[in-house]
Amino acid sequence: MSERSGLFAGDDPFAIALAWLSEAEKSEINDPNAIALATVDAEGLPNVRMVLLKDIEEDAFVFYTNYGSAKATELEQSGKASFVMHWKSLRRQIRVRGEISREEGEKADEYYASRSLKSRLGAWASQQSMPLESRGALMAEVAKVTATKGPNPSRPPFWGGYRIKPVEIEFWADGAFRLHDRFVWRRRGEQDNWSVLRLCP
């Protein structure tokens, strides 16, 4: 597709995503890796929240959370998710839809170990999405965990990653007169080849 040059050039959508994120890291004030993650509950009601994308692999996007959280429950029920990553400074966004699998191995351990001690202890202390009596109760639990887990806590068994393997990735860039540029990459499954289409703005 000869039109797909410049920002959209290349045969690997993950390489394009990495290049866009790298550029955003130089211009976006806060959290250039923030994504709005969408799921659906058992009744089909949508849910969306901001999380931080922690890795773009050769075939997947990875983020981390508590496996007892509402988002994790919904991810496990449907096995699917979508997200949008938007950068105001670049006037660009990436939309992703795909299938979910857990990351509970060495990569999850490595990422957990890279977090600050307070964040690691917080992961142990918080029963994410569960009712909370007060902030004081949460801080008391943090103090308890600090006393019992020590300065190098291991990754909690209820905390880890999710990997989204896309069946669709859309790259969007702002255009003059709101005639934006949109290219969508689609495939039926992870073993299939991508097809690329330009979409109307």
103-136 pLDDT per residue, tens: 999 999 999 999 999 999 999 999 988 889 999 9
Percent of the chain topping pLDDT 90: 87
Using the predicted structure, report yes or no on whether residue 5 has a pLDDT greater than 80.
no
Q: Which of 178, 182, 186, 187 is catalytic?
A: 178
Using the predicted structure, report yes or no on whether residue 176 has a pLDDT greater than 90.
no
The burial class, CB within 10 Å (0-12 / 13-18 / 19+), for 178 is exposed
Q: Which residue has the tokens 């890795």?
A: 55
Using the predicted structure, report yes or no on whether residue 161 has a pLDDT greater than 80.
yes
Task: Identify the pLDDT of residue 1.
Answer: 45
Q: Can you name the residues that pair with 166 across neighbouring β-strands?
A: 98
The burial class, CB within 10 Å (0-12 / 13-18 / 19+), for 16 is buried
Least confidently predicted of 50-64, 85-99, 143-157, 176-190: 176-190
The answer to whether 47 and 70 are in contact (CB under 8 A) is yes
Asked about 4 being catalytic, the answer comes back as: no
